[in-house]
């Protein structure tokens, strides 16, 4: 009985592996995704790993919020060598 289960499980595993190999060797490249080039020149798209809780530079405590604030506000203020605006 045990030998029969092992043989059946081995045959099933070999079949699944063979089907996986055949699926990986198919000539179809999968889904074709359309890529748009260009877009609005007045917009920028930024992807982050988390959601920005706030765009206020003083009300954030997440890495995503800090990253977005650095990108947003870094060009709005310039300082001289004495760190004065």
Confidence class of residue 38 from pLDDT cuts 50, 70 and 90?
low
pLDDT above 90: residue 9: yes
**Interacting residues of 64 by C-beta distance below 8 A, sequence separation 6+:** 48, 49, 50, 51, 52, 53
The token pair that represents 54 in the structure block: 């706030």
Confidence class of residue 32 from pLDDT cuts 50, 70 and 90?
low
Q: What pLDDT is attached to residue 33?
A: 64
Domain boundaries defined on the chain: 41-85
Mean pLDDT of the 70-75 span = 77
Confidence class of residue 28 from pLDDT cuts 50, 70 and 90?
low
Q: What pLDDT is attached to residue 68?
A: 76
């Amino acid at each position: 009985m045990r030998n029969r289960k092992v043989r059946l499980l081995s045959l099933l595993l070999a079949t699944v592996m063979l089907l996986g190999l055949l699926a990986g060797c198919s000539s179809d490249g999968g889904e074709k995704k359309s890529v748009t080039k260009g877009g609005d020149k007045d917009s920028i798209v930024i992807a982050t790993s988390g959601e920005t809780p706030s765009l206020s530079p003083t009300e954030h405590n997440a890495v995503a919020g800090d990253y977005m604030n650095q990108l947003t506000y870094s060009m709005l203020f310039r300082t001289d060598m004495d760190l004065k605006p």
